[in-house]
Structure 1
Amino acid sequence: MHVLVLEDDIMARELLKTVLYGLNMNIDVLEAETYAQGRALFQQHQPTLVLCDWTLADQDNGLALVKFIRQQDADTPILMISGRSDRQTVVSSRQQGVTEFFRKPFDPIILGDRLKSYLEKQAAAEAPEKPELPAVSSWLQDIKARMTPPPTLGGTRDIVTQLNASEPPSVQDLAKRWRSSQAITIRLINVANSGMFKRYGKSVNNLIDAINSMGVTMALQQALALSLDQRDQLSHPALAQLSILRCQEAEKIAATAATLAKQKQVNLAQSYTAGLLYPLGDLALLQLMQSYLDQGGELNNAEMETMLEKLGWKYHQALQQLWKLPQELRDRFAAAHELADEEERPELVLMSVAVDRVKGNTENDDYQRKLGMLGLAGEAQS
């Protein structure tokens, strides 16, 4: 954006530049001391705003530049800045096409406020038109494009990596990493003080004791659950509500899977983690739908549900591949979403059973078949 400043007083010119750069550092200020210089710069650059003084040292005045500009351009804003403020000067300026008149010495703050409105209006006029978005179904169907860059999920990837590392972080490492996170600190202290971990009647009141109480793996899983909650990043109320519901459901699935894993004496930590990550693809989709809306797209609640149903698992698989998740987790994800007919491994069957229980899909023969495979037929479903 070019702004032409015709002012022969170097101090006044520097002050005008300071005001302009304070509004937008990307402005290209064209400086002229004479009418001839101002005219040449206007012809060469076609500035979007002109500031000019009334009186110039070479006996010309800024009004000559105004007349020249208005002969070919009726729209470019021209602001006259002058030590003269008598009625005839102001009227003459207006009659020749001056947009606004400021008297010297001017207040930089007041002038800045007025210049801001001109610059913002011009920036909006110059902004390239946003390309029209395709229908949301087509936009989301292009998974490769939507994964560049991939949706951010509040540090979820980093925590999953730590959970699956051959050498997990130490208690001290986690405490140092999380000491500035109030949300994680509060959650871990609350969990540590719950009936599951509280010992000897002594309350935990700091982060490092909370991690020690529950262990590194459970602490990471609690941080994982917290990272998946995307409600603060979703300004659309329906998207935020869907995120809340998905996360609440995931925590129930994780707890149910952990209980079943303990009964069957299989890897409890992996079962719990897989349960927490059950809605991973849906949560990525919710972020992308918010991005679609932010770019001017339109989306109704029915379309949100349809996209989650059709594409949630595809995005889940895309993130699994992108994050290079271990096969043990991938198998659990697949079983939770749809158990293969021939699958009999208890660590996978129990994931399907956990999802069925949380979703209330327990009144069918397939559920009973899976219970039988786990040796739990006839047992209570708590």
Structure 2
Amino acid sequence: MHPSALPLVLIAHPDPASRELIEAQVRALQPGARVQASADGASVLAGEQTQAADLLIVAAALSDMRGLDLLRELRRRAPARRASCLLVDAEADSASVREALPLGLSAYLTRPLSAEQLGRRLRSALPQASEQAAVPPLSDYLHDRRTDNQGAPLLADIRAAVAQCLRADRCDLGELEESFAGEPQIAARLISVANSAANYQGAACQSLAHALPRLGVKRALNLVLSLAIQRNARLADERLLRQARAATGQAQRAAELALWLAQRLGLDGESCYTAGLLQNIGELALLRVLQDWLDAGGELDEPTLERLLAEHAAGFGSALRAQWRLPLGLRQLIAAYYALGAGVFSREALLLNLTRQLVELPEGQAPASLADERAVRLLRLDLALLDDAPLIPARS
């Protein structure tokens, strides 16, 4: 089935956490669905000029108009097309329900949304596939998903951690940071949301430790839960899972080493840690997309897997960091991990480049052997510091 033949779901909701929860449920129930989410009605109307949605999920109050007015305008534009509509409101008072009745809603949901309630309504509203979708060529599939993917998988049982926090009498930000610090996907998404227009508070947020106070415990937990319920949040294929564990372990080693070096040099340790943690998130995102490919009926052998990781991981990473609008400074540190081009670099960028060289140092080779490397010379490091660096071995 061509991608354009897959069902299109338009989500209009002003709250980013609610949008993510709804999108996660849609993708879990209808993996092939195309989902477009926005905070305002104008974006939906613009999209509807060229594409016919199969399902509309609209909040009663948008940033630029009432949800009922948006649905009314869509009905006026295409009276013959009766896409399913779900309206999400703070309360279902009798006047609001009477006003919505002529629009032929499939459901009228009240906040706060529960995953169970939303899932039940979506199951009845989402169009059911009438045929088994053909598996597209792998090259086309990866091209389409490079700029439309959900990011990295989660390796820990995050839902259990979230549930434990929700059951606790109190859960502070320090506990959340400790629980989620080793998950690249969670760190990146919370940083991204914390830097969104609604949360922006001057200086860009560069780390999980900076993001959590802006978001607060409740919102952070809701965001993490929306990540945990997404389709393939945890990989099912053992080969992909092994690769993901190795990649996450390498990222954790890089993050811890970057933090250690930054602390000794008096540099920004949190930003260096985050850049080390996120430097290979493209590889992780690609593994998750390949799990979707296998679930759709595709086949994948080990040599092909290795080739795809070598050819596509960097592109997936670049697209993902841009999609999440991570701060420019953080993206520059991640880029410096792999290469130093021409120009002037911050000391943190040089440190990240050195971190990669230390992480990739062949077994038995002393760190001081890097004395002539550009990053070492520009940082003017004492070689004794390199010999003291904690080269954490890879976990088998």
TM-score computed with the length of structure 2 as normaliser: 0.46
TM-score computed with the length of structure 1 as normaliser: 0.48
Which structure is richer in relative contact order (CA contacts within 8 A, separation 6 or more)? 2
Greater Rg over alpha carbons, structure: 1
